[in-house]
Amino acid sequence: MKKTITITLHMSEIIYDVQNKTYLRGRSKQDAPADIKANMQANDDDENLNQVLRSVGNAYGSLKSALSEYIIESGTTANNGLHANSNIVITLSMPSNYNAAGNDVVATGLHKYIVNSAIFDWFVLTSPGDAEVYAPLARAAMGEVVDAINRRVRPTRTS
């Protein structure tokens, strides 16, 4: 019998991480002019927040593609509308011998994947040289997710 795992990623936490990490990256640019630093930072201004949400949506789409064999979705329609006050809910159908001890690793890895992918997308527009730091981080996060998903409970001998 399959195990169903539901993971909720809070959009407010994803947006906060994107904004905080881009802020810290901009602040760390010691010799960059103030306008360059400001442009590196995602914030709640409408155009910035809209781009962050689009970047998060792109990351979510690629996440769903990467985990398509496990994701449970029913329905015949789709949209790309993510909102700052919404959550991303992912339901996974796992093999019966999936080790549920990996649930937190999967949740954390999915969060990191979306955040790093969104930051990559953001920096492609605002600071292309910094973008290249985040693509490998996103790939590493997905690797953690795949490793956790592939963990199995060791079988026990029946008596």
Q: Is residue 94 part of a domain?
A: yes
pLDDT at 75 > cutoff 70: no
DSSP-H helix ranges across the chain: 11-28, 34-40, 46-66, 103-126, 128-149
Q: Is residue 154 part of a domain?
A: no
What total of structural domains would you count in the chain? 1
Q: Is residue 158 part of a domain?
A: no
**Over the stretch 112-127, which tens digit does the pLDDT of each residue have?**
999 999 999 999 988 8
Q: Is residue 73 part of a domain?
A: yes
Name which residue leads in pLDDT, 101 or 108: 108
Q: Is residue 159 part of a domain?
A: no
73: Cβ–Cβ under 8 A, 6 or more apart, which residues?
A: 91
pTM score, whole prediction: 0.87
Host domain of residue 124: 3-149
Q: Is residue 80 part of a domain?
A: yes
Cβ-defined contacts of 15-22 (< 8 Å, 24+) = 15/49, 15/52, 15/53, 15/56, 15/84, 17/111, 17/115, 18/42, 18/52, 18/55, 18/56, 18/115, 18/118, 18/119, 18/122, 19/43, 19/44, 19/52, 21/115, 21/119, 22/119, 22/122, 22/123
Question: Could you tell me which residues are beta bridge partners of residue 71?
Answer: 92
Q: Is residue 120 part of a domain?
A: yes
pLDDT at 77: 53
Q: Is residue 143 part of a domain?
A: yes
